[in-house]
Chain A
């Protein structure tokens, strides 16, 4: 289990993480989403043992990962821009990892080499961005990590490889009990793979929930009335967003469908419909809720 306990980190006067706390259960896929500069990559680097938290603790199986080689042996961090040596190929980089990571799985490495459409003996730095990410992921998975930390892993991957990556992650989670934390802006991909989501904004966690709970807990409601209607009825609901065109309301309301619908139907509308939000819509709504100036940005 990964426990983030009151973790703070700042760069100069800028606070990147501010008293952050949450847990990532073993065998889960945790999606880390948030605005630009929210602190997602910083958090991954702290968990990965690259950075040290200024206060608080990021515990992996109860231990701090910073300068802790046995903890680091259990995890693998793939940054948003992975580093490769000038002359390294996937094969010779594997030789380095083989001697360093205790759980290196040569058979699985060979298998992954055959699965991914990547040239094994080409210099990695000459490869495309997507290919480099594939190389990084092959090496990462071959170390058989208990915890896999991925930063913008879907960036640059074609749709086929994206599916492959997602499938491999899920296989490792289900078969080997691996835990993955994926920081990404690609919410569509996260939606497919994550079971938990943490939303970061300005170094703070806005929400941390199971994805289903999150998605089913907020609904997009369209409700139309025949005559004039007083907006006071909205006070009875946890409305996050409201858009009114005459007697037609487009609302984002917090709550389960089974609980919302009877209450909405009790208002005797001409039409009512409640649809679950996509993760992207949840993200936008929640971010708006914490003062992210979406309107200004989109305008």
Chain B
């Protein structure tokens, strides 16, 4: 018989698990003491706040309790992980565990479970106990799952690094460098085309999704998702695969598997290089020569970080010059990517599909409404004439402006990144939903089903032309009916209406009576059905939409409308209300 049965392994695994818990008694006692302190503090706080019967304050107190509890659990988890995985890095512990009649995988798995147990279970118990004691049983399961996912992910990642590294210090440095450097490098790699490619729209892509799923601390960035567990599962699988091949003698003497070292070196070079490179561009350190600024920053930042990192890992300059091959390759790849992007990424910048290939076009723009405020208009058309005009304008603009536009890294960064809805966590811009002023997007849907999207901070179609190209959409009833809150939002969300007299230009009066507000809105819509949007009148109404919470209302959106003279019923309601309120005000 080569190995023990599963039940034997389970039994010995449980022994190791319980022994690990036992050997962390002191840490658990300290942890529970801290949690108990926070628990009492929070219970008192919540009970005190409860007296005021203010739900938002209770919620804030509960959130505060969760943050401090889970922050403590993360710290404890980190300490426990260092202690438990140290058996892979201490020669004496390696002798001890290596000679026990327990498989390496059983020991590793038991210790990983112990780390998760030590850090997660007391936090859960204290949170529930505190909620029960305070009488506000509002257990935030989402928070707990997030915290648990982070703990599992960190433990799995730390475990994998422990298997790969021979020293605890290397493991800790790799943990932070990869944990922070990886998502940071991903963000910068996404920013690079955004800053260099004119018209580039970083759409949601499967590549980014996959790369982002491999972020060690994904739970920090988005809501509960099964994807949170992809990374830890991969880490566990890798650990299990590598454990048997791991050389026990590497304890205290370097790396068992060198890939964390290589990954760390690449990430540290790229992330520091990008930070300094973009900083040099933004501060215009070399004036208008942005490419030179970027590369000077890139080299300065990456080389400095690399040298420090190399010295830390190698404990000196041993092998430094040989290691520069990796640095050179990394920077070489970055330079290649940069040059491709700066030269237009194989025709990406100049590509405009042929009219005959386009099935439909959609154009997203800021609606310049004046009193209507800022709204995003989205025009879609399958009209051949509209498509033809748009393609022609787009091509002319690309041909004329490309040389000037593409050399504007800083402007691209500011306009696109800072003003657009760039979601750093998801690494794409949802430009169709939200765009800042002066950002225009066009999307061609081709007959073969493909989509071609471009986004510009200066419209490729100047204002007069835009009206000409998209006349029937920019100010169409169709657009209004689909995008104006007046038509989209239910009346029940109207919280108040402000009426202003455009002739006197006073500060206006506010109607808070729900029935009156609803009557004004309903009458306005009835008359819109009858007359459509016509010329503006003497009165303007600002309708606030929001959600009510007791006496409080949380503003969701607003709609500013001029009441046309043709809307006689609405005008009467508005005028009567205005006069009545004005008299009351004066009286």
- Contact bitstring A233-273, B, C-beta under 8 A = 1, else 0: 00000000000000000000000000000000000000000
In the complex, which residue of chain A has the Cβ closest to the Cβ of B26?
A: A87
How would residues 80 to 96 of chain A score, 1 for a CB under 8 Å from any chain B CB and 0 otherwise?
01110111100010001
Q: Which residues of B contact A52 (CB under 8 A)?
A: 247-248
* A70-B4 in contact given A51-B248, A87-B25, A99-B12 (Cβ < 8 Å): yes
* Chain A at the B interface: SS class: loop
* Interface assignment of A101: CB less than 8 Å from any CB of chain B: yes
Residue of B nearest to A54 (CB): B247
Binds B, one of A42-50, A116-124, A199-207, A277-285: A42-50
The total of Cβ contacts below 8 Å across the A-B interface reads 82
> B99 interface residue, CB < 8 Å from A?
yes
Is the contact region of chain B dominated by helix, strand, or loop, or is it mixed?
helix
The answer, yes or no, to whether A67 is at the interface (CB within 8 Å) is: yes
In contact, B92 and A82 (Cβ under 8 angstroms)? yes
B15 A96 Cβ-Cβ under 8 A: yes
The answer on a CB contact under 8 Å between A72 and B99 is yes
Which one of A67, A85, A100 lies within 8 Å of B244 (CB-CB)?
A67
A213 interface hit (Cβ, 8 Å):
no
Q: Is B103 an interface residue when CB atoms closer than 8 A count as contact?
A: yes
Q: Which residues of chain A have C-beta atoms less than 8 A from B90's C-beta?
A: 83
Interchain CA distance A12-B23 in the complex, whole Å = 34
Collect the chain A residues with CB atoms within 8 Å of residue B103's CB: 67, 69
- Interface assignment of B432: CB less than 8 Å from any CB of chain A: no
Task: Determine whether B101 belongs to the interface, using a CB cutoff of 8 Å to chain A.
Answer: yes
Question: How far apart are A85's CB and chain B's nearest CB, in angstroms?
Answer: 5
Which chain B residues (1-59) contact chain A, with CB distance < 8 Å? 1-4, 8-9, 11-12, 15, 19, 22-23, 25-26
Given the complex, which residues of B lie within 8 Å of A102, measured CB to CB?
101
B456: min CB distance to chain A, Å: 58
**How many angstroms between the C-alpha atoms of A92 and B22 in the bound complex?**
10
User: Considering residues A11, A67, A68, which has the most beta carbons from chain B within 10 angstroms of its beta carbon?
Assistant: A67
Min CB distance B449 to A, Å, is 53
Question: Is A70's CB under 8 angstroms from B101's CB?
Answer: yes
Say yes or no for B433: interface residue by CB 8 A criterion: no
| Chain A residues near B411 (CB-CB < 8 A) | none
Interface centre among B23, B95, B248 (most CB of A within 10 A): B95
Q: Which residues of B contact A82 (CB under 8 A)?
A: 92, 95-96
A81 contact set on B, CB distance < 8 A: 91-92
Whether the Cβ atoms of B25 and A69 lie closer than 8 Å is no
Which single member of A11, A45, A72, A73 contacts B95 (CB below 8 Å)? Answer: A45
* A48:B3 contact, CB within 8 angstroms: no
Docked pose: A79 CA to B253 CA in angstroms: 19
Residue from B25, B93, B104 within 8 A of A83 (CB atoms): B93
Flag if B95 contacts A50 (CB, 8 Å). Answer: yes
B521 close to A (CB within 8 Å): no
Q: Does A63 contact B (CB under 8 A)?
A: yes
A72 pairs with B100, CB closer than 8 A: yes
Write the nearest CB–CB distance from A194 to chain B, whole angstroms: 22
Known: A52-B247, A69-B4, A69-B101. A83 touches B12 (CB 8 A): no
Contact of B98 with A68 in the complex, beta carbons under 8 Å: no
Question: How many chain A residues have a CB neighbour from B under 8 Å?
Answer: 31
Q: Do residues A50 and B23 form an inter-chain contact, with CB atoms below 8 A?
A: no
A69 and B102 contacting across the interface, CB-CB below 8 Å: yes
Closest chain A residue to B243 by CB distance? A67
Indicate if the CB atoms of A49 and B99 lie closer than 8 Å. yes
**Quick one: which of A180-218 are within 8 Å of B by CB?**
none
- Please pick, from A70, A73, A92, A99, the residue contacting B2 in the complex, using a CB distance under 8 A: A70
A48-B2 contact in complex given A87-B23, A96-B15, A96-B19, C-beta closer than 8 Å:
no
The answer to whether B92 touches A49 (Cβ under 8 A) is: no
A287–B309 alpha-carbon span in the complex (Å): 46
Q: Is A30 an interface residue (CB 8 A)?
A: no
**Beta-carbon contact of B2 and A63 below 8 Å:** yes
Contact A100 B99 (CB under 8 A): no
- Chain B, residues 74-96, CB within 8 Å of chain A (1/0): the string is 00000000000000001111111
**Nearest chain A CB to B205's CB is how many angstroms away?**
42
User: B304: shortest Cβ distance to chain A, in Å?
Assistant: 30
B104 touches A72 (CB 8 A): no
Q: Which residues of chain A come closer than 8 Å to B566, judged between CB atoms? A: none
**Which partner residue on chain A sits nearest B100 by CB separation?**
A100
> Taking A51-B249, A99-B11 as contacts, is the C-beta distance between A83 and B99 under 8 angstroms?
no
A102 to B4, CA, bound (A): 11
A77 interface residue (CB < 8 Å to B): yes
Minimum C-beta distance from B22 to chain A (A): 8
Give the one of A52, A68, A85, A100 with max B CB within 10 A: A100
Q: For B19, what are the chain A residues with a Cβ–Cβ distance below 8 Å?
A: 96
Give 6 new A-B contacts, CB below 8 A, not counting A11-B253, A68-B2, A70-B2: A48-B98, A50-B94, A63-B2, A79-B95, A81-B92, A87-B23
Listed A/B pairs (5) with beta-carbon separation below 8 Å? A50-B99, A69-B9, A70-B4, A82-B96, A100-B101
Contacts from A to B (Cβ < 8 Å):
11, 45, 48-52, 63, 67-70, 72-73, 75-77, 79, 81-83, 85-88, 92, 96, 99-102
Residues of B within 8 A of A (CB): 1-4, 8-9, 11-12, 15, 19, 22-23, 25-26, 90-96, 98-104, 244, 247-249, 253
